[in-house]
C-alpha cells in the first residue's frame, strides 16, 4: 500500500510539474514577444544603427602606453635580517608598459621597471630593469600558430607569475628569488588546438648572467663545477580552459643546464578559478637541481659549515618545492577582500629536504572607486617568516601598509 501511495504521489507530482513547465513556457513566450514588439516600436531612428555590424573586438591599438604604480605609507618590523624597524613612504612598484599591434599578425611589448638598476646582465646583454622586449607573430591558416622572440616571461605553470604585478603585495620565494628565472631571453612557439587548449615550447637562457658572474653576485664559488657550454633550458607548457573560461590551467615541465653535465628539472602546475565575485589561483612547483644555481640551499649549508660570503660553495642535488594560494572576494560593488599564502621549502639529503621553510602571506581590504579604471586604495598586512631546522636563526618581516595602486592610461593610439 505504501509503495502504491508513493507511485500515486510521484505521478501527481509529475503532472503538476508538467503544468507548471507549460505555464512558464507560455509566459516566457508572450513576455519575449512583447519585449521584441516594444523594442521595434521604440524609434524609427534606431533602425539604421541596428543594421550596423558590431565589431567583434576592440579597435587595433598601434601604440598603448601605461604606467604601473603602487605606493604606500608603511610600517616595517624586522627580526634577524639586517634591516631596521621603520615608518616611511615607499614606492613599491613603478613600471612603464609599451605594447601594440603593427597589424593583425604582428604585435610587440616592452616593459621597464623604473625602480630597478639598469646594470647590464652579462649573458643576455639586457638591463636588469627590462621585463619585456619581444615581437610576436601569428601565422597559419587560422592564425593558430604563434612565434615569440625576445625577452619575455618564462612559460612556467604559475598564475602568480602572469598576474598584474601591482596586484601582488608580496611574492613567493620561488618567484622573488632566483629559484625561477622569471624574465628570460628566449624564443617561444605556441599552437592553439582550439579556443580551449594550446601547447607551447620555449627555448631560454637558464640565468641572465654568465656562470661566474652569477656566482659572484651571490657570494659563491664554483666548488669544482664548470660552466655549461650550453647554459639553456626548455619549457613544454599546456594551457587549458574549462566551463566558459571560469577554470583555467597552465601546466609545464622544464629542463635546463647551469653547470656542465648537471641538469635541473621543474614541474609546475598553475590552476585558476574566476567568477563574477571570486578569483582564486593555486600554484604548485617542484624542482630538482643537480647544480644549485638558486644558491639558497648552498648558502644555508655554507653558513652551517662556517663559510663566509664570497666563499659559499655551489652545492649539488637541491630540491625546491612551493605551494601558493591566493583568494579574492568581492564584498560590495566597490570593495574587495584578498588573502594570500605561500609555502616554500628547500634542502638536500645532507641537511634535510625541508631544511629551510619560507612562509609569505598577506591580507588586504581593497576599495576600487572607479569601475572603468584600474585604481585601488588598500589597507593591508604583509608578512614573511623564514625558519631553519637547526643552527640558523629565524628571520621575520612584518609590514602594515596604507596605499594605492593604479594602472595609469598614459597614451592610446588606434591604427
Secondary structure class of 181 (helix, strand, coil): coil
User: What's the CA angle centered on 305, arms 83 and 264, to 5 degrees?
Assistant: 85
Q: Specify the pLDDT at position 80.
A: 83
CA dist., res. 159 & res. 168, Å (int): 11
Over residues 113-135, the pLDDT tens digits come to 999 989 999 999 999 999 999 99
Quick: pLDDT tens for 279-333: 999 999 999 999 999 999 999 999 999 999 999 999 999 999 999 999 999 999 9
Going by their DSSP bridges, the two strands 316-332 and 278-291 should be labelled as: antiparallel
Average confidence (pLDDT) over 213-240: 96
- DSSP per residue, 328-377: EEEEETTEEEEEEEEEEEEEETTTEEEEEEEEEEEEEEEE---TTS-EEE
Q: What is the CA radius of gyration of the chain?
A: 27
The contacts of residue 409 (CB under 8 Å, 6+ apart) are: 66, 373
7-26 average pLDDT score = 45
The pLDDT, as a whole number, for residue 58 is 57
Residue 46 has pLDDT above 50, yes or no: no
What integer pLDDT is reported at residue 415 of this predicted model? 63
Grid cell 613599491 — which residue?
92
Rounded Cα distance, 157 and 268, in Å: 5
Nearest to 93 by CA among 408, 409, 364, 379: 408
d(CA 399, CA 78): 9
Which of the residue ranges 23-37, 198-212, 295-309 would you say has the lowest mean pLDDT? 23-37
For strands 220-221 and 312-313, give the pairing.
parallel
pLDDT greater than 70 at residue 275: yes
pLDDT of 159 above 70: yes
pLDDT band at 60 (very low <50, low <70, confident <90, very high): low
Spatial CA neighbour of 340 closest among 328, 332, 331, 356: 328
Rounded to whole angstroms, the Cα distance separating 156 from 172 reads: 14
Whether pTM > 0.85 for this model: the answer is no
End-to-end CA gap in the chain: 78
User: What mean pLDDT value characterizes the chain?
Assistant: 88
pLDDT at 83 (0 to 100)? 81
Note the pLDDT of residue 6.
40
Residue 395 pLDDT: 94
pLDDT in the model for residue 71: 98
- Beta pairing, strands 312-313 & 86-101: unpaired
Q: What is the dihedral of CA 65, 161, 248, 375, to 10 degrees?
A: -40
Asked whether the predicted pLDDT for residue 405 surpasses 50, the reply is yes
What percentage of the chain has pLDDT greater than the value 70?
A: 85
CB 104 within 8 A of CB 81: no
Helix or strand (DSSP H, E) at 17:
helix 2-40
Cα–Cα–Cα angle for 293, 294, 296, rounded to 5 degrees? 125
- C-alpha distances (whole Å) from 182 to each of 51, 157, 171 are 48, 11, 12
Please write the tens of the pLDDT for every residue from 211-226. 999 999 999 999 999 9
Average pLDDT over residues 96-122: 94
Quick one: pLDDT band at residue 25, thresholds 50, 70, 90?
very low
Q: Which three cell numbers stand for residue 272?
A: 585558476
| Portion of the chain with pLDDT greater than 90, in percent | 80
Amino acid at each position: 500500500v505504501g509503495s502504491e501511495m508513493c507511485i500515486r504521489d510521484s505521478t501527481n507530482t509529475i503532472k503538476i510539474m508538467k503544468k507548471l513547465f507549460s505555464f512558464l513556457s507560455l509566459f516566457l513566450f508572450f513576455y519575449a514577444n512583447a519585449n521584441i514588439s516594444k523594442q521595434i516600436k521604440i524609434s524609427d531612428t534606431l533602425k539604421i544603427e541596428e543594421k550596423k555590424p558590431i565589431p567583434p573586438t576592440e579597435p587595433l591599438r598601434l601604440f598603448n602606453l601605461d604606467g604601473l604604480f603602487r605606493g604606500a605609507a608603511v610600517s616595517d618590523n624586522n627580526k634577524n635580517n639586517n634591516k631596521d624597524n621603520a615608518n616611511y613612504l615607499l614606492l613599491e612598484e613603478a613600471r612603464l608598459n609599451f605594447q601594440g599591434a603593427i597589424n593583425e599578425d604582428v604585435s610587440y611589448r616592452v616593459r621597464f621597471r623604473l625602480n630597478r638598476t639598469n646594470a647590464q646582465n652579462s649573458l643576455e646583454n639586457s638591463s636588469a630593469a627590462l621585463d619585456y622586449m619581444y615581437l610576436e607573430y601569428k601565422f597559419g591558416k587560422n592564425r593558430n600558430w604563434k612565434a615569440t622572440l625576445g625577452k619575455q616571461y618564462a612559460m612556467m605553470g604559475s598564475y602568480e607569475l602572469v598576474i598584474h604585478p601591482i596586484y601582488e603585495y608580496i611574492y613567493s620565494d620561488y618567484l622573488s628569488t632566483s629559484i625561477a628565472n622569471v624574465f628570460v631571453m628566449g624564443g617561444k612557439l605556441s599552437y592553439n588546438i582550439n579556443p580551449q587548449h594550446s601547447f607551447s615550447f620555449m627555448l631560454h637562457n637558464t640565468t641572465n648572467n654568465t656562470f661566474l658572474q652569477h656566482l659572484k653576485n651571490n657570494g659563491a664559488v664554483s666548488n669544482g663545477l664548470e660552466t655549461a657550454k650550453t647554459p639553456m633550458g626548455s619549457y613544454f607548457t599546456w594551457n587549458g580552459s574549462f566551463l566558459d573560461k571560469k577554470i583555467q590551467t597552465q601546466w609545464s615541465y622544464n629542463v635546463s643546464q647551469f653547470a656542465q653535465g648537471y641538469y635541473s628539472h621543474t614541474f609546475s602546475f598553475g590552476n585558476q578559478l574566476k567568477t563574477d565575485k571570486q578569483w582564486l589561483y593555486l600554484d604548485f612547483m617542484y624542482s630538482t637541481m643537480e647544480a644549485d644555481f638558486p644558491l639558497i640551499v648552498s648558502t644555508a649549508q655554507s653558513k652551517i659549515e662556517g663559510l663566509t660570503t664570497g666563499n659559499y660553495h655551489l652545492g649539488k642535488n637541491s630540491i625546491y618545492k612551493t605551494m601558493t594560494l591566493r583568494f579574492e572576494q568581492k564584498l560590495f560593488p566597490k570593495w574587495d577582500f584578498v588573502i594570500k599564502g605561500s609555502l616554500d621549502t628547500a634542502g638536500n639529503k645532507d641537511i634535510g629536504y625541508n631544511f629551510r621553510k619560507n612562509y609569505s602571506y598577506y591580507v588586504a581590504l581593497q576599495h576600487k572607486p572607479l569601475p572603468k579604471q584600474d585604481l585601488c586604495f588598500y589597507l593591508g598586512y604583509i608578512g614573511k617568516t623564514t625558519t631553519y631546522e637547526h643552527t640558523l636563526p629565524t628571520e621575520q618581516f612584518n609590514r602594515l601598509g596604507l596605499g594605492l595602486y593604479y594602472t595609469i592610461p598614459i597614451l592610446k593610439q588606434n591604427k
